[in-house]
Amino acid sequence: MDPTPGIHSRNDWHVAAVDVTGSTNDDLLRAAERGELVDRSVLRTDHQTVGRGRLDRRWDAPPGTNLLASMYLAAPGEHPGAVVQRVGVSIVRAVTALVGAAGGPPPATLGLKWPNDVMFDGRKMAGVLAQRSTAAPGIVVGFGVNVGWSPPEAADVAELVNVNPAGLLDAVLAAFDELPDDPAVFAAVYRAELLTLGQVVRVHLPGDLEFVGVADAVDADGRIEVVGADGARQTFDVGDVVHLRAASAGDDRDI
């Protein structure tokens, strides 16, 4: 089987579902370490007791409401970060396709906030968490999409279209397989979905540091380039971004 992401038919995903687990990312990482996973294994659950965000944060969802799943790719290639971008774009594309199938227009305010949050109307609709184990090859990419429930100030798919978590997973996997394989072509697709470019952003870094500037570019490794008020260009590969405003806007209120 060719392990390059994006070139398989949708049918070679190996999808399993369980009612409850700790974290689908943990489950796939442990299974990978035991050598039990084939490429393109997917695990979905109705409920996570210790759903994880990045940096040891939590991912919340009441039982049975949202899409909580992880995929394992045995050979993510030279740029594992691109796989994470592919999952983020796939979620945007899947929701857009479902809205279209229901007769609605493409949601103009649906897109990505760097690096991989799916946003709708300025609120977070989905998060992506990639993890690797030093004891196993491959990468695990988990994704939580708010479908029927979202925390205060977040967004959910039900605001746009009715779908259940299993149906949305099918749409996400189909969208993943429809993305272009060519890295340069995909990079353009990713940038087109990235709401962050051209925005004034505040980048929060580990250790209480932050940097404010205009998000100007994303490089081949997925790092974001931000230009500060003094013209200095800084490149970040980790960090949380807050969109402050469009760079061309005349006022400076946070939104």
Residues in touch with ligand BT5 (CB under 6 A):
23-25, 48, 51-55, 57-61, 68-70, 117, 124, 127-129, 142-144, 146, 150-151, 154
Nearer to ligand BT5, 14 or 227 (CB): 14
The residue number with the shortest CB distance to ligand BT5 is 127
Nearer to ligand BT5, 23 or 199 (CB): 23
Q: How far, in Å, CA of 112 to CA of 15, rounded?
A: 25
3-state secondary structure at position 116: coil
Smallest gap, in angstroms, from Cβ of residue 44 to ligand BT5?
Answer: 9
Q: How far, in Å, CA of 3 to CA of 105, rounded?
A: 35
Smallest gap, in angstroms, from Cβ of residue 151 to ligand BT5?
Answer: 5
Tokens of 254: 């946070």
Smallest gap, in angstroms, from Cβ of residue 141 to ligand BT5?
Answer: 9
Pairing of strands 240-246, 199-205: antiparallel
Smallest gap, in angstroms, from Cβ of residue 3 to ligand BT5?
Answer: 21
Nearer to ligand BT5, 96 or 150 (CB): 150
Smallest gap, in angstroms, from Cβ of residue 80 to ligand BT5?
Answer: 16
Nearer to ligand BT5, 118 or 161 (CB): 118
Q: How far, in Å, CA of 114 to CA of 215, rounded?
A: 10
Nearer to ligand BT5, 71 or 218 (CB): 71
| Other Cβ atoms within 10 Å of 44 Cβ, number | 19
Nearer to ligand BT5, 90 or 150 (CB): 150
Long-range contacts of 235-242 (CB under 8 A, 24+ apart): 236/203, 236/205, 236/211, 238/205, 238/206, 239/203, 239/204, 239/205, 239/206, 240/203, 240/204, 241/113, 241/114, 241/115, 241/196, 241/201, 241/202, 241/203, 241/204, 241/215, 242/201, 242/202, 242/204
Smallest gap, in angstroms, from Cβ of residue 68 to ligand BT5?
Answer: 4
Nearer to ligand BT5, 172 or 244 (CB): 172
Smallest gap, in angstroms, from Cβ of residue 182 to ligand BT5?
Answer: 27
